[in-house]
Amino acid sequence: MGNTSIKTTCCIVGGGPAGMMLGFLLARAGLAVTVLEKHADFLRDFRGDVVHPSTLELIHELGLIDEFLKLPHEKLDHLTGRIGAENVTIADFSHLPTRCKFLALMPQWDFLNFLASNGKRYPGFDLRMRTEATDLIEEDGRIVGLRAKSPEGELEIRAELVVGCDGRHSTVRKRAGLQVEDIGAPIDVLWFRISRRPDDATDMFGHIEAGKMMVMLDRGDYWQCAYVIPKGGIDRVKANGLPAFRDAVVEMTSFFRNRIDEIKDWDDVKLLTVAVDRLTCWHRPGLICIGDAAHAMSPVGGVGINLAVQDAVAVANTLAGPLKAGQVTSDLLDAVQQRRDFPMRAIQRIQVVVQNMLLAPALSSAQRPTPPFPVKLMQWFPALRRIPARVIGIGFRPEHIRTPEAA
């Protein structure tokens, strides 16, 4: 164990979708980039599993789509659900102006491993697992690097630019003293698995009932389930007991009845706290935050990964050249924020409206819910389903790869 000091051009904290995509793009552009990930692998359970058409489009632009689509995944070209007694379709991706007109449901660790293995093809890519950023190094008002702990001991990393991609509980944004605007979320999520059998219905995605809501992600041999509860409601759920929780799950998805005992105890059910917030300013001289570190996203619509990836592309497009030239100015960092601010705010606004107008009332109501008017309209006029498909699948102001691959 000892103290080691290294120098790099860009140090990225966090190996989630934002950090891995940015690390890959900068290394591909010929830069020296160090990515720190505090965990030993990407095998954490509580990650969204959706790779959106816009992200698939970026992978296509990178010339990697055929290789990517060889990884096991499920294709979802429309989103269906059940609100009270009615089955509804709320998005149809089959008309999107993208090469892949579907959501790819793929365990996020496969997506991150794919980016890591492609990053490793470039000499500048330095991914350090089990390495946790603990503090920033500031000199004359500029962030010039950071301190981290790794299995080998303390690490000091000097860099032209530090990028905080360390998610909603970001250490980087805390240490940088960036101001957070908390928008709040009225929900939390209980996350658990139930095995999947060949004759299970495959088109069910979400179900809302009086006082209950559940989303199910098809992970091939099991269902990843997200049972939504009111914020802070975990104590009440536990006080009611595990049998009552199991019954509630079966009421939402009756074909779980013959295997609900797979939830053996509360250790099988993880609480994921939902946050919606954003930084008022994403940057300081020598540092910028992106992805959830700059704007924590609600799981509503499953678009957080998309935004994180789009942020990464915007950083690479704006800063790869200046980083090479050693000329990353505050104006350029601000240009990234200005570019990404509107798409992020627009999506957060939609998420907050859905949380407050649909989810929270359904969770607190004893009355069986009925589809809200816009959802009813989509059943009468199916072409309207293309609108949510566009918002979820592409978002606003989509990014494209502008960084050339270094010779």
- Nearer to ligand FAD (CB atom), residue 171 or residue 317: 171
Phi and psi of 124, rounded to 5°? -80, -5
Considering the rule CB under 6 A, would residue 13 count as an interface residue with ligand FAD? yes
How many other β-carbons are positioned within 10 Å of the β-carbon of residue 11? Answer: 30
Q: Which of 33, 163, 305, 313 binds ligand FAD (CB under 6 A)?
A: 305
**202: helix, strand or coil:** coil
Tokens of 125: 């890519």
Tokens of 150: 């790794």
* CB 105 within 8 Å of CB 231: no
Q: Which of 8, 9, 12, 17 binds ligand FAD (CB under 6 A)?
A: 17
Report which residue type is found at 73: H
Considering the rule CB under 6 A, would residue 145 count as an interface residue with ligand FAD? no
The conformation of residue 105, written as its DSSP 8-state character, comes to E
* CB 36 within 8 Å of CB 159: no
Q: How far apart, in whole angstroms, are the C-alpha atoms of residue 12 and residue 22? A: 8
- Nearer to ligand FAD (CB atom), residue 278 or residue 284: 278
- Specify the stretch interacting with ligand FAD by CB under 6 A; choose among 41-49, 70-78, 93-101, 155-163: 41-49
- In the complex, the smallest distance separating the C-beta of residue 177 from ligand FAD, rounded to whole angstroms, is 16
Q: Which of 24, 33, 34, 37 binds ligand FAD (CB under 6 A)?
A: 37
Output the CA–CA distances (angstroms, integers) from residue 355 to 55, 167, 260, 297, in the order listed.
25, 21, 28, 12
Considering the rule CB under 6 A, would residue 277 count as an interface residue with ligand FAD? no
- In the complex, the smallest distance separating the C-beta of residue 219 from ligand FAD, rounded to whole angstroms, is 11
Considering the rule CB under 6 A, would residue 313 count as an interface residue with ligand FAD? no
- Nearer to ligand FAD (CB atom), residue 206 or residue 291: 291
| Dihedral angle over CA of 115, 120, 122, 123, nearest 10 | 150
- In the complex, the smallest distance separating the C-beta of residue 147 from ligand FAD, rounded to whole angstroms, is 11
Considering the rule CB under 6 A, would residue 116 count as an interface residue with ligand FAD? no
With b meaning 16 or more CB within 10 Å and e meaning fewer, what string describes 141-160? eebbbbbbbbeeeebebebb
Considering the rule CB under 6 A, would residue 92 count as an interface residue with ligand FAD? no
- Nearer to ligand FAD (CB atom), residue 272 or residue 406: 272
Considering the rule CB under 6 A, would residue 362 count as an interface residue with ligand FAD? no
Considering the rule CB under 6 A, would residue 207 count as an interface residue with ligand FAD? no
Q: What angle do helix axes 17-28 and 108-119 make, rounded to 10 degrees? A: 20
Q: Which of 81, 206, 299, 343 binds ligand FAD (CB under 6 A)?
A: 299
Considering the rule CB under 6 A, would residue 133 count as an interface residue with ligand FAD? yes
* CB 94 within 8 Å of CB 77: yes
Q: Count residues contacting ligand FAD (CB under 6 A)?
A: 36
* CB 336 within 8 Å of CB 264: no
Interface contacts to ligand FAD, rule CB under 6 A: 13-19, 36-39, 47-50, 132-133, 165-167, 171, 189, 226, 272, 274, 291-293, 297, 299, 302-306, 308
